[in-house]
Every structure is written in C-alpha cells, then in structure tokens.
Structure 1
Amino acid sequence: MNGAARRDPQWWTDWLSAVEEYRTEHGHTDIPVTCRTRDGRWLGSWISARRRDFREGKLSGDEVAMLAAVGVDVRIQGRAARQRTQSARSAEQWEQRIAALAAFRDRYGHPEVPQRYVTEDGLRLGGWLSHCRVAHRNGTLDPRRA
C-alpha cells in the first residue's frame, strides 16, 4: 500500500470502524492476524501492519491516538499483545461474573447458585462458581479472588 492511501482520512475511518465492530462483537481488540471483516478485508493483518509502521516510525501521533481510541496498542505485538489483552479481558470477565453473582444474591437472598444456573444473558454462572470453588480448594485460585 502506498503512503498516500494511508493518509486518506476515509481509509482510516473504514478500518477503525472495522476494529470497533470487532470490539463490539468480541469485547476486545485482540484481533487474530487471520481475522477478516464481513466484506473480506484482512483486519488482523491490518493491525499487524500498523504495529510494524509504528516500530518503523511511520505512524503520526494522531494515527497512534486514533488506534488507541479504539483499543489498539501499537506498542506491543505478538505474545505480549495477546497476554496483555487476555489479562485485561480476564479481569473484566471476573468483575462481570462477580456482578452477576451479586445480582443472583440480591434476587434470591443467598449466593448458593445451582451448578446448572444460567443468567438471562447466557452466562453460565453456576458452572463458573463451581469452577472457582474447586480452584480455591486446590489452591489454584488467585488469593485476591478468594
């Protein structure tokens, strides 16, 4: 791709919209390199190319800011990017599940969630809580979450 196309505001808008659509659908921007948009564009490859552009000093400060605004950190790549995103996602999921447990307790007056209980939005709260209890008994649950 030539530099002129990369500087076209519509080009950026189209790609950033695709990133936002992915984030809305999946809850994160840990986009696999093999990911394609609905219209067939290689979104994961595009993200990788922007990270390469950043390393090579080819992104302006505004471009870096636009990527950051949609949740893409161009400073990290590969395994570090996946681990950072997974860690953030894990913390977010933990908070969502704790909120669902609190809602269950508020609704039913106790936190004894049946193992097969599924929330209205499809969260398998009972299975998750059972997994947490087993992890706690085995000493594999993070002490901050016990």
Structure 2
Amino acid sequence: DWEGARVIYQQLNDMEPNLQEAKDGLLRTGKVIRSILRYEKYLEIAAIEAKRIQYQLARQSWDQAMRSKPDYLELTDEAKRLQQHLITQSRPVQVLFVSDMATWVSVQGPTAKKPTKLKESTMNLLPGDYRVIGRKKGYEDIQYRLQVRGGVAQSPITVICDEKL
C-alpha cells in the first residue's frame, strides 16, 4: 500500500532529516499516489460521461486514465466492462436515410452531415444523440431526434417535408 509506505518514509524523514533515501522515498510514493488518484478520477469521469451518452468525452477521459495508470495496476472488472462498452460505442453504425430528392436532409451530432438532397443514402454515424432536420422550400421543416447506439441495428429514417406552409 503506497500510502502506508509514504507514512513510513515520512517517519524516517522526521527521525533523519538528512537521509536521502527517505527523501527519495517520499518523492517516489507521492508521485505514485498522485498517479493513482489521477487514474481513478479520469476513470470516474469516463463512466459518468458514458452514462450521459457522451461517448467521445468518455473515450478521452478513458485515454487519460490509461496514461495515468501505473503499469502494475490491473483493471478492475468494472473498468473492463467500461472499456468494452466504450469500444462498442466508438464503432460507427450504418444508418439508412430515405428522402424524396427535394428535401434537404442534415444530420447534427457527433458525426455531422451537411445538408444534402438524397433518395437513399447509408451514413456511418458514431453512437450518440442526433438531430435530423429536413427542409424544403414552401413546406414545414421537420426535425427528428435520433439515438444511435453501437451494437443496435438502426431502422431506416425517412425524411420528407410534405406539409405545405
């Protein structure tokens, strides 16, 4: 236990203030303890962001946690589950969009797609929450909320503005 080792080095330093081994031990244990705390904090943030369906932020926090993790430290079962979840949620999902070649279709979210007219188009979208917007001159705009999740097949999305103004 690193905190116990730090206490011992501190006691040794208190008894022998000029002992270099005690000073070195305090520095070394302090660095390891800070590294473990940083690792645990980033892991906690990654889990929170994953629950909030902010997968890109979760992945960034996971990567920072792994950079902070001491080599000897094993991943817990919970961390392994989070890792698998983030791997699944980092793979693009194919989504089929269907329209009438007259409606401008745009997708806003983790993978943004600029407005385009289409008949059928398969787009690879990263998991996350999206807004799908359809616009056509002289017609009411339409807007959908779309949830894309890794490992879940996505039904085709039809985007056609058909209500006149």
Give the shorter-chain TM-score range: 0.3 to 0.5
Q: TM (normalized to structure 2)?
A: 0.30
In the superposition, the TM-score normalised over structure 1's length comes to 0.32
Question: Which structure has greater strand proportion?
Answer: 2
Larger Rg: 2
Larger RCO (CA under 8 A, 6+ residues apart): 2
User: Would you tell me which structure has more helix in proportion to its own residues?
Assistant: 1
